[in-house]
């Protein structure tokens, strides 16, 4: 039975919405600090290889599965391959739930730093402010954390209520270009700082000696996370895509924009760290707070018109986060709408509330509750927040992505995938055979061997 399905309003609409999902806290908050943890160079290089060799082909696979089946992940996997594959979609719904749980907390931080910046803009930026301790004190304030993430959850649910074209597309179209412009300006300013050269060397000079397999898995996992892959977000968005658009062109655009923004953000923050005396010590109080510790200093002491731009920046980061949280919630909600026949409003309310419960626990695991903050199941990842982040991006997304490669490369017919990728909208340079080789061999082998290496060797390169 043909059910009429909502679609994006325009060609740019899909690309913008997909870019909105991909570009978010993964680029601005997470990538810089995990690059710091993993000692730069080699980690960045492996990450870039994962993006190109694993991320891009899987991005195309997810979008094509969505567009072909016109269904959300569970239904899409069943329709594309067979009834048994529904659980790959369900695994993605679970990952969405876990990610949304802690992601909302970080998104809440942007609201508070927006307010803080407004204060600094009007009352002056105190020269001796200890941004590192300020951050750790802030996240340990449990009730404030819950309020901030509640506001953010409500905003996400609000957009999801209105549905795809009206909500998601409208928000993304305006704000993504603004974010890009402001990052360019920040990049130019940061590059004039004294430590910029050291920052560039740290990020781009590969030093493999201290790289561990766990770091390789983290680079792979982050490639999935930052591109919103492995859990069906791109399947869902692809299902709202019409046949006029090119899966190949959209995928490539999203991957390039996402990668540039992550690299820009990293160069910007590391330039601050290497230039400002005492900044390294402040960041070391909580590397996960890097985005909130380095940027105010840059805005209020280096960037021209930084006074005005600082609050605007955190607003744009908040919107970048919102265009990602809506894609996460949309995966969960569309499952209940498409597979369980629940209405959109009811599904949004129930799924939104359920994830918020998890968010509350995460919000309390940054110092305010010692039980939630203290345990260490995974070495170096103390507390619920860090544990969930580790499980979702390093394990759930790569394993989900692995099965998506198998579905698209081995179980769907060549005819059906070729019909989606190599149609008249495909760009001239695109070779279907190359994609097929990557999705059948390179991507699944890379994911499987990195996971196997971590499990069996857990060894160092050195
Ligand atoms: N890609 C988003 C980011 O980088 C996070 C995300 C992951 C969104 C998975 C959807 C699905 O911030």
Q: DSSP characters for 350-384?
A: HHHHHHHHHHHHHHTTTTT-HHHHH--SBTTB-HH
pLDDT digits (tens, 9 = 90+) for 383-407: 999 999 999 999 999 999 999 999 9
Distances (CA, A) of 234 to 56, 324, 383: 12, 11, 30
Residue 290 CB partners (closer than 8 Å, separation 6+): 29, 32, 33, 36, 269, 273, 283
pLDDT digits (tens, 9 = 90+) for 18-39: 999 999 999 999 999 999 999 9
The pTM of the full predicted model, rounded to 2 decimals, is 0.95
Check pLDDT > 80 for residue 460.
no
Q: 378 — phi, psi (to 5°)?
A: -115, 130
Strand partners, 212: 460
Average pLDDT, the chain: 92
Q: Residue 325 CA: which ligand 1 atom is closest?
A: 8
**Around 290, how many Cα atoms within 13 Å sit in the side-chain half-sphere?**
27
Residue 21 C-alpha to ligand 1 middle, in angstroms?
Answer: 6
Q: Which of 61, 56, 99, 29 is nearest to 394 (CA)?
A: 99
What single-letter DSSP state applies at residue 341? -
Distances (CA, A) of 170 to 134, 158, 176, 217, 333: 35, 13, 11, 36, 19
Cα–Cα distance for residue pair 199/194, rounded to 1 Å:
10
Percent of the chain with pLDDT over 90: 79
Cα–Cα distance for residue pair 309/301, rounded to 1 Å:
12
CB distance 252 to 188 below 8 Å: no
CB distance 235 to 68 below 8 Å: no
Confidence of residue 212 (pLDDT cuts 50, 70, 90): confident
Predicted pLDDT at 88: 97
Residue 247 C-alpha to ligand 1 middle, in angstroms?
Answer: 19
Strand partners, 378: 381
Cα–Cα distance for residue pair 160/162, rounded to 1 Å:
5
Check pLDDT > 60 for residue 308.
yes
Cα–Cα distance for residue pair 96/160, rounded to 1 Å:
15
The size of the chain, in residues, is: 462
CA angle 374, 381, 48 (to 5 degrees): 160
User: Torsion-angle region of residue 277: left (phi > 0), alpha (psi -120 to 50) or beta?
Assistant: beta
Ligand 1 binding pocket (C-beta < 6 A) is 21-22, 24-27, 99, 225-226, 228, 231, 233, 324, 327-328
Predicted pLDDT at 224: 97
Residue 166 C-alpha to ligand 1 middle, in angstroms?
Answer: 21
CB distance 398 to 220 below 8 Å: yes
Predicted pLDDT at 358: 97
Predicted pLDDT at 176: 84
Percent of the chain with pLDDT over 70: 95
Confidence of residue 2 (pLDDT cuts 50, 70, 90): very low
pLDDT digits (tens, 9 = 90+) for 364-379: 999 888 889 888 888 7
Check pLDDT > 70 for residue 8.
no
Q: Residue 27 CA: which ligand 1 atom is closest?
A: 4
Predicted pLDDT at 207: 86
Cα–Cα distance for residue pair 87/91, rounded to 1 Å:
6
For each of the domains in the chain, give its residue range(s) and CATH number, in order of start: 11-457 (1.20.1740)
Distances (CA, A) of 134 to 302, 312, 314: 21, 21, 17
Q: What average pLDDT score do residues 302-317 get?
A: 92
Check pLDDT > 90 for residue 127.
no
To test the ligand 1 pocket, which listed residue (17, 26, 152, 221) has its Cβ within 8 A of the most ligand atoms? Answer: 26
Cα–Cα distance for residue pair 311/342, rounded to 1 Å:
39
Strand partners, 460: 212
pLDDT digits (tens, 9 = 90+) for 407-453: 999 999 999 999 999 988 889 999 999 999 999 999 999 999 999 98
Residue 24 C-alpha to ligand 1 middle, in angstroms?
Answer: 6
Predicted pLDDT at 15: 86
Predicted pLDDT at 136: 95
pLDDT digits (tens, 9 = 90+) for 250-306: 999 999 999 999 999 999 999 999 999 999 999 999 999 999 999 999 999 989 899
Residue 131 CB partners (closer than 8 Å, separation 6+): 282, 292, 293, 294, 296, 297
Q: Residue 328 CA: which ligand 1 atom is closest?
A: 10
CB distance 8 to 17 below 8 Å: yes
Check pLDDT > 70 for residue 1.
no
**Around 27, how many Cα atoms within 13 Å sit in the side-chain half-sphere?**
30
To test the ligand 1 pocket, which listed residue (233, 238, 318, 326) has its Cβ within 8 A of the most ligand atoms? Answer: 233
């Amino acid at each position: 039975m043909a059910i009429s399905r909502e679609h994006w309003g325009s060609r740019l609409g899909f690309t913008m919405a997909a870019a909105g999902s991909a570009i978010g806290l993964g680029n601005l908050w997470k990538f810089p600090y995990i690059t710091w943890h993993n000692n730069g160079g080699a980690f960045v290089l492996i990450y870039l290889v994962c993006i190109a060799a694993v991320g891009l082909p899987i991005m195309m696979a997810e979008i094509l599965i969505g567009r072909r089946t016109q269904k959300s992940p569970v239904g899409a996997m069943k329709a594309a391959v067979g009834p048994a594959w529904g659980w790959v979609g369900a695994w993605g719904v679970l990952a969405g739930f876990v990610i949304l749980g802690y992601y909302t907390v970080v998104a809440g931080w942007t609201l508070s730093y927006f307010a803080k910046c407004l204060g600094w803009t009007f009352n002056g930026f105190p020269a001796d402010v200890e941004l590192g301790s300020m951050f750790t004190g802030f996240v340990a304030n449990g009730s404030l954390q819950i309020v901030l993430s509640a506001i953010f959850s409500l905003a996400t649910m609000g957009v999801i209520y209105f549905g795809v074209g009206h909500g998601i597309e409208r928000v993304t179209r305006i704000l993504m270009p603004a974010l890009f412009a402001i990052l360019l300006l920040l990049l130019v300013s940061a590059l004039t700082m004294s430590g910029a050269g050291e920052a560039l060397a740290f990020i781009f000079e590969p030093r493999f000696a201290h790289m561990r397999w766990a770091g390789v898995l983290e680079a792979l996992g982050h490639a999935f996370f930052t591109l919103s892959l492995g859990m069906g977000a791109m399947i869902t968005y692809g299902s709202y895509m019409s046949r006029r658009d090119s899966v190949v062109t959209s995928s490539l655009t999203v991957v390039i924009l996402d990668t540039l923004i992550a690299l820009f953000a990293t160069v910007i923050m590391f330039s601050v760290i290497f230039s400002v005396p005492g900044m390294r010590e402040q960041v070391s109080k909580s590397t996960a707070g890097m985005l909130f510790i380095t940027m105010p200093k840059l805005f209020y002491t280096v960037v021209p018109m930084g006074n005005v731009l600082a609050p605007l920046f955190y607003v744009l980061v908040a919107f970048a986060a919102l265009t990602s949280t809506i894609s996460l919630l949309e995966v969960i909600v569309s499952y209940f709408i498409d597979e369980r026949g629940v209405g959109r409003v009811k599904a949004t309310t129930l799924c939104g509330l359920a994830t918020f419960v998890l968010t509350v626990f995460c919000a309390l695991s940054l110092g305010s509750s010692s039980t939630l903050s203290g345990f260490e199941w995974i070495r170096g990842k103390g507390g619920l927040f860090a544990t969930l982040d580790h499980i979702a991006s390093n394990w759930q997304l790569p394993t989900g992505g692995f099965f998506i490669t198998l579905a698209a490369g081995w179980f769907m017919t060549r005819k059906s995938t070729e019909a989606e990728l190599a149609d008249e909208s495909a760009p001239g340079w695109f070779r279907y055979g190359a994609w097929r080789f990557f999705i059948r061999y390179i991507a699944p082998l890379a994911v499987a061997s990195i996971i196997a290496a971590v499990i069996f060797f857990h060894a160092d390169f050195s």
